[in-house]
Each structure stands twice: as C-alpha cells, then as structure tokens.
Structure 1
Amino acid sequence: MLGELWRSLTGDELRPGAAVIEGGEAVLPGPFRVAAAASASIAAATLAAGELLRLNGIEPGTVSVDTRHAAAAFRSEQYVRVDGEAPPGVWGGLSGDYRAADGWVKLHCNYPKHNAAARRALGIPDSADAAAEAVAKRTAWDVQEAVVEAGGAAAAMRTRDEWLAHPQGQALADAPLVEFTPIAHSPARPLSTSDRPLGGVRVLELTHVIAGPVAGRALAAHGADVLQIGAAHLPRLRTLDIDTGLGKRSAFVDLRTGEGRARLWRLIAEADVLLQSYRPGALAALGFTPEKLAEARPGIVLVELDAYGWSGPWARRRGFDSLVQMASGIAAETAVDKPRPLPAQALDHATGWLAAAAAMTGLRRRAAEGGSYRALLALASTGRWLDSLGRKENTTEELDTTGLFDELDSPFGRLTHVRVPGTLPGANPFWAQGSPLPGEDTAEF
C-alpha cells in the first residue's frame, strides 16, 4: 500500500527499508481501513520530509509509523484539551442527519451563514425539531439541492453504486489522488542548510476547517515557518483553531479590500508554499491565478484542496468531510437505522497529510529541477482511495491513546495534544510552539 501511494505521489519507487508501519489495524471500529490509511498517509509525508534531508546530505534513517498513534492523530480534535478541559464542540446550528421522505440527508451548519441558508431553504426557524419536520416532507435530493442553492452545505446519503454512477463520481474515476502539474519554468532553488527538513521554508496557509490546517500543521512539525491567514469578519471554530494551529503563526488579511489583496501579494512574493482551500476559482477570481502566483514568486509550490474534485458538475460545490462521506456511499455502507460515518474525519486528515507530502515533493522538485508547481487534492478522491484499500473485519474496539500526548503552552492555556506521529531519525518532527490566537500576529514573514 505505502509503495503504491509513494509512487502515485512522487513517481518514484519506495527505497527498500525506507519505512516501516508497526501495529495492527484493529484500533478503530468499522470495516473501512481508516487506521491503515492514516499510517500510510502520515508515512508518505514523513518520507517526503526525509527526502528533503537527503538532499541536504543528511541521512534520514528509517521512517516508522505506529498505527495506534496514526489513528489518534486522525482524531486529534477529539483529544485536544486546554488546561485539562475539552474546548467547545465542533458541531453546531442545525448540523445533523435528518430522515427525509425517501432516505437521509445531512445538513452541515457549523458556520452561521450555512445555518441561515438551511433555514431559508427549508422555511423554518432555528430549530432542529422544525428542520426534522420540514425535511421529512421532502425527498433527500430535494433538500440537498434546495440547501445548496440557498448557499448552504448538505448531502443526501447514497450507496457506493449510486455514487459511482453519479456524474461527479464518474468525473473522479480517472482523477489521480494528487494531480501534479508544472506552472512555469524557473531556476532551481536549493534548500537552506537547516538540519530540519523544512528549515527556512515559508508557508502561506489560506485554509479553514480540518484538511488544509492539518497540512500546515504537518509542515510546521518539520520546521516550516507557517503563517495562517484568516480574516476578522469570518467565523471560526475554536476547537479546530486550538488543535490545528500547533507550530504556526496567525494573521488577519481582508481580501475584500485592495489593501488586503496588496498585502497578500507581498506575502506571496516571499513564500515558498501557498496552501489554500478556497472553493475552486474563488482565489483566482481575486486575481491570484496559478500563473500570476508563479510570476510573483518564481519557484512557488501551490497546493490546493477542495471537496468533490476539480472537474465534474460538483467541482465548485461546498463540501466537508461528513458530506462527502454521505454522498459517496461511505456513510451508507454499514447504515442500519441511520447513517454510520467513519470513526474519524478521515478524509480531511488523510487529505491534509497527503497535501503536506505534495508540498514537500514540490519543494524537492524545485530544488533538483527548478520550476513552479501546482498540486490538486480533493476529499472525494481521498475517499475513493480509502475505498480502494478494501475492508477489514468490522471490529468495535475503542482506541487506546495511552502515552500519545504532549503538552505546550499557548495563549489559550496549557494545551494537551496528540504528539506528532511519524518517526524520522534524521530529524524527528515537533511543534516549537502552541497554537496562536486567531489574528494575533503581524501579516509578515
């Protein structure tokens, strides 16, 4: 599995003895091979970091990933604590699974604008009981389309076969897990002489929720200077800020203004990696096209994430991990009386680690060959990869997290968090600081 994943990411064969995955898969419930996917994606990112060390003449050693640790990392937002207490829950508003006239539909309403959109589409007050009553009178597809049309996020539950027959499922059939393309030619740019894989590398992160922030967090663990850019007027989820902000800085830039866009261009001119999860076309509509990014910063590595894929009728549709699970048949596979999601937001976390691996692969190509690169990833493509791994016994074990935590000080308080997974003997990953308050830093490298 890891060899195939490495080949699809890099085009290279995995070196004999380069990595070992330890432990069995029976650490998370359900039939999907979530722990195996977690171990493989984390191993791929750690191997990519090791290859950067090798370029600098440092022997990386054998990468090792413990399956239990990898599984815990894929549920990191469930375990993070501030001064010993769990932060607020992630789910809010009218979020949840609702029984429709012909099946099930999930509403994703964690953000106020999506909650308001669902209320508009259903013609209801802000009440889960009212939502349940309204949904029960309509088909799941009708509810999904009405909410999406109103500017919200929803997905009807489909079976795997229904998804494969759907135009968006078909659009993903031939899509690679990670699509790498060169943007422009530029001279090779050697790595810094740091003893950490990403020492001296500047990462500009324009992401939200889980997948993109996980990618930035992974890059920070290997030594990158990661600056997360948000905006004061946009809502945030406190728990995810705390969990995924480890090792980063955070600043606000309002891209609605000319001054904000000019500030972002100045940051891009100094960045090595731009990691973004705006909906496809949104950033380009503000003038930040791949070609202009490569002009502003020759040698930039652009890594972009979306929900449903980069082609097909749903390419621009709002989506989140839980919605992709509903739409693609994952939640239906073991559904009995209601949808059954994966035991982790695995599409988000796997996509995040694969995005980090893609960023480091792009940096390695830039150092060896020159050029600016673009990598595209999608939660639905990651779900397709997870599906391709087959199934394991449908166990019900609960994960033992003993010994998997570290602590760091932060402006939020003393954080207890899942330690960085993946061992790299040449330069083990770690987070140098706790998570920042959103917007507390200056928007500069």
Structure 2
Amino acid sequence: MDDSFAEVISRMWHAIGADDSADWPATQLTTAGPRTVLPAAFDVTGLATGAVAIATVAAAQLLAARQDSRPPAVTVDSVESCAAFASERLFTPIGWTRPPLWDPIAGNYRAADAWIRLHTNYAGHRAAVEQVLGAHDRETVQAAVAELRAEELETAIVEAGGCAAVMHHRGQWLASVPGAATADAPPLNVVERQSSGSSAPNPSGGRPFDGVRVLDLTRVIAGPVCTKFLAGYGADVLRIDPQGFDEVPSLLPETTLGKRTASLDLTAPADRATFEELLAGADVLVSGLRADALKRLGYDNEALTAMNPGLIIAALDAYGWDGPWRNRRGFDSLVQMSCGIASDGATATGQEEPFPLPVQALDHATGWLLAASVARALTRRLTHSTAARIQASLIGTANLLYSLTPPSDHLPAPSTEGIALEATTTDWGPARRVPLPGRIHGVPVHWSQQAGPLGRHPALWDE
C-alpha cells in the first residue's frame, strides 16, 4: 500500500468495526494515483480514496470467506475514487437532457447577521421556504432573507417542514447543543448480536454479494451509493419508495443503476404485509430515513429482528443518532454549513461567503463506508454467526474528515474532469458515467438493471 494513504485507510478500516489486526489489508491492497486530486481545506482526496479502498477490500474479504479462499488483491486509484465522488456532476447524457441538479432557489443567502443555506430540491421543502418567506424566485427570496436573522429563519423553515442551515464556524457548532451532542459521533457504530443466519458459501457468479438480497429504503446520494456498490458486485437490490414519491429526478440516472424499484404504502395493510414478506427474505436492510421513521411505522430494530433474526440492519441519517437534531431533515450541503466545513473553507480561501467541499464528500464517503460495513457484517455473519446493526451519519463522517491531517495548501491539483467515462444505458437514453472505482482482481463489476424511474418493478424478490 502507498504509505501516503496508509494512515487514512487504517483509520477508516477500524471505523467499520474491523478491530482484528489479522484482517488489516496492508498486503492485499495497492493504492495508486496522486495524493491530492480534489483541492480543499480538508483531505477530501484521502477521504475518497480511503472510503473506496475499505469497501472494496471488505467485499473481497467477503468473497474469500464465501469461497474459503485467500482474499484476492485489490487496487484503488485516487483519481478514479475522487471522480466517483463527483459522479452525479460528471454523468453525461447522450441525445437527451437531464434536469438540473439544483432547484433554482436552492443555495446560500446572506441574512441580516449570517449566511444561511436553503435546500429546496424536494417540492415540499421548497413550499416550506416559500411559505415562510412569501417569496417564489431567487431575487425575492434574497430580499426576504436579508431582512431576517439567520437562526430565526432556520428555525422557522425547519418547523414548516423545510430544510435550512446557518453557517457556523467549528467552535460555534461544537458549543451548540446539537454540536456538543455529536462532537464525538463516529462515522459508523456497529453492534452485533448472535444469529443463526448465514450467507451461503460459493457464490455462483463469482462476485462477493451474489445471492445477497438487499432491501433499499434510501434516497438522494449516500444510501444509493452504498446499494449501487452492492448491486455492482452481485446483490439483488430492491428499492422501495412510497407510492407517488418524487425523488430528485437528476439523480435517478446514477442512483438507480443496478436496482429494481418498487412502490409500497406502509400505512396500508396489504402493502405492509408485502413489505414484511420482503423483510423476512432479505439479508440486508439499508435505510436512509430519519432516525425514528421506521419506528413510527412499527418497524423498530426489535420488530425487524423478530421478523428476520439474521437481518443486517444498516441505517444512516444526517445529524447523527444523539441530541436534539437526530430527527432533523438534512443533506450533505446543510451539514457542511452547520458543522464548520463551509466556514473553514471560506477562511482557507480568503472568502466571506461559504466555501464548501468540491464534491458532496460527506454523502459519498458515508455511502462507501456503509457498504464496507455491510460487507464486513456479512462476513461476520458467515464466520461468527452474528448479525449487525449499523448506524452511520453525515455528521460522523464530517468528524472523521476533521480528524484527517489537512493538506498544507489549497493549490490546484490533478482534475477529475478528464477521467475516461464508460458507456451506459438508461431508461431515458444512452449516457456516459464514471466507472466504479476500485478493482478486485479477477472479479467483474456488472449491474443487472439499467437505471430508470422509481416504482417500475413488482415488490418481489427475484427467484
């Protein structure tokens, strides 16, 4: 392994609960590429390369456990890893037009006393902003925001069902109640229980997750990054959304790749029965809902375990699993504003306005870390008869990023823009996309489903 990435990867390896030094992949893993690809006030290149590395290594180790063989070699390139963290921006339709990544009024605004970010990519979140401000376009929103105090506006929008975040510097965040509650939040928390469930050995297709059934309750970027990785290496991923759910349309050509998508109403008895049948047949449940969302529907951890004792339960949220913001709606760009990242970026570049990371790094890193932890949990289920409950959060990943040694300067670096994209097909038309980074020697990556709209498949497992 390249010594320049070794410390970062070691820290992430232990973050997924891999405390056994015998599993440390130093001799299995080769890293390549420049140490800095994405210039920032933080080690975003190390975060991206390390997250891809441990997920790919964990998948290779699962394959070895299932085949009772030595783990295959893994190679990870820093440029490819960083390009994957920009995949939604680099995705290129051929002969058709993808909707914009951002709603027209989403973005940063100067309030009377501080900067605030409004997140309006979902119709309901935009409606909350319009209701609070009485404004409906960027010019009138800016005029209305400028008259208000940022904290008061943030509270009003959140109470109206919307999403907003005031820009804090790191000290302000850690001194706040939600910041103090999550100051030590790890990127992942893994709790194991004894289980009779096991993952069948000798995968027929020669890929780590062949035959593994993954029930996917995730959206936007972080959770879908996790489940797309699992699907690429063989998992049967079934994404479930509420009927009529309107996901950010520009993300679907990337985030639905490799997955079947179905719709269920979990307040309707018949659909609940279908969902419970799916749960009983699943190996892994991945949820990106707010902390108490499944509990409110009657599916807390105890209920899920009763339905399926061997089920691996993986969940992620924005602002962590403790403190007053555990159920707050949140997104990568908002967490960067809240926790100090956007402020520190502004300081490093000599700017007054927020300066975020060059990619949605908290989202992507959390997705890769979650995929690594799921692979690790499947290995442990096979070798130690345990099942895991995994909790991840964007704020925990932000804490991890703060723990990494920052680059010595903010100089230009090799760009991800020139990376070779690969051809893909979608239900909307052909396109070119960023290849999955990381290589497991002798193991192909293949997605059995092309990207497409939500709710287009039956809510059934493949036979």
Q: Bin the TM-score by the shorter chain.
A: over 0.9
Structure 2 residues not aligned, in runs of 5+:
1-7
Counterparts of 1:374 and 1:87, CA distance in 2: 37
Counterparts of 2:416 and 2:320, CA distance in 1: 34
* Mapped pair 1:131 → 2:141: yes
Give the structure 1 partner of residue 318 of structure 2.
307
Structure 1 residues not aligned, in runs of 5+:
none
Of the candidates 21, 36, 39, which is equivalent to residue 29 of structure 1? 39
Shift of 1:305: 0.5
- The one-letter code matched in structure 2 to 1:340 is F
> Kindly, what percent of the aligned residue pairs are identical?
39
Shift of 1:188: 4.5
Give the structure 2 partner of residue 216 of structure 1.
227
| Segment drifting more, 267-276 vs 166-175 | 166-175
Give the structure 1 partner of residue 157 of structure 2.
147
Shift of 1:150: 0.9
- The one-letter code matched in structure 2 to 1:149 is E
* Mapped pair 1:11 → 2:19: yes
Of the candidates 98, 121, 127, which is equivalent to residue 87 of structure 1? 98
| SS of corresponding position for 1:72 | helix
Shift of 1:426: 4.1
Shift of 1:374: 0.7
In 1, are the aligned partners of 2:185 and 2:399 still within 8 Å (CA)? no
* Mapped pair 1:185 → 2:200: no
Of the candidates 268, 276, 286, which is equivalent to residue 265 of structure 1? 276
- The one-letter code matched in structure 1 to 2:436 is V
Shift of 1:371: 3.1
Shift of 1:93: 4.8
Alignment map for 1:253-292 (pairs within 5 Å): 253-292=264-303
Q: TM-score, normalised by structure 2?
A: 0.92
Counterparts of 2:390 and 2:86, CA distance in 1: 25
* CA deviations over 1:303-322 (Å, ceiling 9, x no partner): 00000000011111110000
Of the candidates 78, 103, 108, which is equivalent to residue 119 of structure 2? 108
- The one-letter code matched in structure 1 to 2:447 is W
Shift of 1:176: 2.4
* Mapped pair 1:362 → 2:370: no
Give the structure 2 partner of residue 429 of structure 1.
445
* CA deviations over 1:379-422 (Å, ceiling 9, x no partner): 01101101111211202346244453211223221131111100
Shift of 1:85: 4.9
- The one-letter code matched in structure 1 to 2:10 is G
Give the structure 2 partner of residue 47 of structure 1.
57
Give the structure 1 partner of residue 247 of structure 2.
236
* Mapped pair 1:371 → 2:412: no
Q: TM-score, normalised by structure 1?
A: 0.96
In 2, are the aligned partners of 1:272 and 1:301 still within 8 Å (CA)? yes
Shift of 1:12: 2.4
In 1, are the aligned partners of 2:25 and 2:57 still within 8 Å (CA)? no
- The one-letter code matched in structure 1 to 2:321 is W
| SS of corresponding position for 2:281 | coil
- The one-letter code matched in structure 1 to 2:459 is A
* CA deviations over 1:296-336 (Å, ceiling 9, x no partner): 11210010000000001111111000000000111111321
Give the structure 2 partner of residue 66 of structure 1.
77
Taking a change above 3 Å as real, the CA distance of residues 141 and 159 of structure 1, as seen in their structure-2 partners, is same
Shift of 1:86: 5.2
Of the candidates 173, 179, 183, which is equivalent to residue 183 of structure 2? 173
In 1, are the aligned partners of 2:215 and 2:237 still within 8 Å (CA)? yes
Shift of 1:212: 0.6
- The one-letter code matched in structure 1 to 2:19 is G
* CA deviations over 1:70-94 (Å, ceiling 9, x no partner): 0000010001122255511121152
| Segment drifting more, 373-382 vs 7-16 | 7-16
- The one-letter code matched in structure 1 to 2:376 is T
Please provide the CA RMSD for this pair: 1.6
State how many pairs are aligned: 443
In 2, are the aligned partners of 1:82 and 1:416 still within 8 Å (CA)? yes
Counterparts of 1:181 and 1:22, CA distance in 2: 33
Runs of 4+ in 1 over 6 A off after TM superposition: none
